[in-house]
Amino acid sequence: MNEDLAKMMKYLQLTGLLTNWDHLLALAQEKDFSHTRFLSYVIEEEYKFKKENSRKRRLKKANIPEELVMETFPFHEQPKLNKQKVLGLYDSFDYMTKKQNVIWVGPTGSGKSGMATSFLIKAINYGYSGRFILFPELIDALFKSRADISEQRLIKQFASYDILVIDEIGYVDVEPFQVGLFFTLMQKRHKRKTTLVTTNLGFQQWLSFLKNDQLTAALIDRLTENSHVINMKNCVSLRPRLVQG
């Protein structure tokens, strides 16, 4: 490849073509491609290259602590989990196409985070934007946003994700203004985006850390409307190496 052609490919951001130029030419000669077939093949390969890179960027930006997928979830170790319900929701993809929330309720170590992560990764693989964040980290970010008056920008950022995983709700107490900001975030996502939540506490216990009767009731109402609740209260703790949450 001559230098001018390489510069043009860089300018056009044809990274895949630039990287695989020699291989593509050799393949075209080996397969005796026509000009039309060769051009079609080059475009198809560049498209797949860019699409895969875009998927990898979305996955990286999602800040997922461990990339766990549904295929590795040890259902055999959770006989009291409704496997049919979980896989039915996962396979149908309704949680994304119908903008439904999914809430996992159960003890620590039962696999809630792992399943939420697998739902998130599937959505990202299908072209959606997403983010994983621990509830304590989100609350801390909301607290800091009040100090530098950036709360609206932060809420806009988290409201924009097509799918948002909020992990471990119920592990920290929340200040009154944080409850308000968290409710505002959920209100902006309500029926517009998909939110996945894991919690070790039943809804009747949420008041213990939110400490606001009215907002707690309103928040639960927003989260549970148009949602699926996966009850894992009777599930056992799994080995950490297999699954989170």
Output the pLDDT for position 239: 54
Rounded CA-CA distance 134/198 in Å is: 9
Determine the Cα angle at 14 with ends 10 and 17, to 5°. Answer: 110
Quick: pLDDT tens for 17-74.
888 888 888 888 888 888 888 888 888 888 888 899 999 999 999 999 999 999 999 9
pTM: 0.86
Output the pLDDT for position 242: 42
Eight-class DSSP state of 203: G
Eight-class DSSP state of 111: S
Output the pLDDT for position 13: 83
Output the pLDDT for position 45: 85
Name all domains of the chain by residue range, CATH numbers in brackets. 3-61 (no CATH), 70-231 (3.40.50.300)
Rounded CA-CA distance 53/135 in Å is: 29
Quick: pLDDT tens for 127-141.
999 999 999 999 999
Task: Report mean pLDDT in 10-residue bins for the chain, 245 residues.
Answer: 80 83 85 84 87 96 96 93 96 97 95 97 98 96 88 95 96 86 94 96 93 92 94 82 46
Eight-class DSSP state of 236: P
Output the pLDDT for position 60: 97
Output the pLDDT for position 125: 97
Long-range contacts of 237-242 (CB under 8 A, 24+ apart): 237/107, 237/108, 237/109, 237/110, 238/74, 238/77, 238/78, 238/109, 238/110, 238/111, 240/109, 242/72, 242/74, 242/77, 242/114
